[in-house]
Amino acid sequence: MGTDRVESVATCEPSLFDGHPRMQAIRSIIESIADTDTTVLIRGESGVGKDLIARAVHAASARRQGPFVKVNCAAIPQELLESELFGHEKGAFTGAHRRKPGQFEFANMGTIYLDEIGELPLALQAKLLHVLQDFRFSRVGGHLPIDVDARVIAATNRRLEEAMAQGEFREDLYYRLNVVEIQVPPLRERREEIPGLVAWFLAKFNAQYGRQKTLSAETLARLTAYPWSGNVRELENIIRRMVVLADGEQAFEAQFARSRGARTVHPQPSPSVTESLREIARRGAREAERHALSEVLERVRWNRAEASRILKVSYKTLLTKIAECELTAPARRLS
């Protein structure tokens, strides 16, 4: 292998919170609520790492020795969800042959993590709201009040505000859950983390599958610039494929080209062997920025005021970026 290949040098998981200022801000939130029992709502696209953050909140809390119980509200059929969360008494419904405690009881003295909370049916939203008020409930088919001491963390990738507007999510529950909100940015907004994650997954899958796969610097530059709509989970799967399949790198090259649409993809200039991961990442990020900028400008027919609104940068910053990326408006559209 040439010396310009990226070796799987990472030996430990990249810290969730070291890579990007927005992740560092999340760490500060977690530290500042470590000694409280506040309810936390974690938001972010699928695959950004919400589960890991929920575990980090639990691990930082005084409850860390207690259980961490995860319930995926979307994965359990609606008619079974109430019993899953709160348990049932014998004979509560057909098939309830014996009393069964619910996940809230298992989470006693610990944390219950309600994933995909946006999928919770309205009737259960009402029950959950009551539980959050006094941490007392009864099992399905029972009357005996049960007290639990559990911290609640909820997560969603749904726009709850829209669900509320459509009457699908209770506003009172939203405010009760949203005491502390952690918004996890998508991977494309924290590209600096990509090289570290790549090295970590490479090391992990090389060890798992007994391989010694290395990646070319070109592949790393592409990985850094790719849009990652599936976030870290997608990155993890791509690296797994690259380790397992002989043509994994070429397959990703084709996928990368497709992601650039009809635009001809010019191969990235081969980085010099002395180029650091940081420089490769920076170059990838610049390339991605240029791509996004030109796409938006095309879409709004080079209306710069409109583009600056869409990209959430000032008009002045937009002009600087256009100049830095050496983009020029098509002559016919120049006003």
Ligand X SMILES: Nc1ncnc2c1ncn2[C@@H]1O[C@H](COP(=O)(O)OP(=O)(O)OP(=O)(O)O)[C@@H](O)[C@H]1O
Sites of contact with ligand X (CB under 6 A): 13-14, 16, 44, 46-52, 115, 157, 197, 232-233, 236
**Minimum distance of Mg ion from residue 113's CB (angstroms):** 9
**157 interacts with, out of ligand X, Mg ion, none, CB within 5 to 8 A per kind:** ligand X
Mutual orientation of helices 21-32 and 50-60 as an angle, nearest 10°? Answer: 40
**314 interacts with, out of ligand X, Mg ion, none, CB within 5 to 8 A per kind:** none
**Minimum distance of Mg ion from residue 171's CB (angstroms):** 24
Greatest alpha-carbon pair distance for the chain in Å reads: 77
Q: Rounded to whole angstroms, how far apart are CA atoms 128 and 126?
A: 5
**14 interacts with, out of Mg ion, ligand X, none, CB within 5 to 8 A per kind:** ligand X
Q: Please report, as residue ranges, which positions from 31 to 70 form the binding site for Mg ion (by CB under 5 A).
A: 50-51
Task: Give me the residue whose beta carbon is nearest to ligand X.
Answer: 49
Q: Rounded to whole angstroms, how far apart are CA atoms 256 and 215?
A: 15
Q: Comparing C-alpha atoms, which of 136, 132, 141 is closest to residue 82?
A: 141
Instruction: For residue 240, count CB atoms less than 10 angstroms from its CB and return exposed for 0-12, middle for 13-18, buried for 19 or more.
Output: middle
Strand, coil or helix: what is 146? strand
Nearest to ligand X of 186, 271 (CB atom): 186
**Minimum distance of Mg ion from residue 75's CB (angstroms):** 10
State the distance between the two ends of the chain, measured CA to CA, in whole angstroms: 53
**Minimum distance of ligand X from residue 13's CB (angstroms):** 5
The β-bridge relationship of strands 136-137 and 146-147 is antiparallel
Nearest to ligand X of 131, 239 (CB atom): 239
Q: Rounded to whole angstroms, how far apart are CA atoms 67 and 288?
A: 42
**218 interacts with, out of Mg ion, ligand X, none, CB within 5 to 8 A per kind:** none
Q: Please report, as residue ranges, which positions from 98 to 117 form the binding site for Mg ion (by CB under 5 A).
A: 115
Residues forming the site for Mg ion (CB under 5 A): 50-51, 115
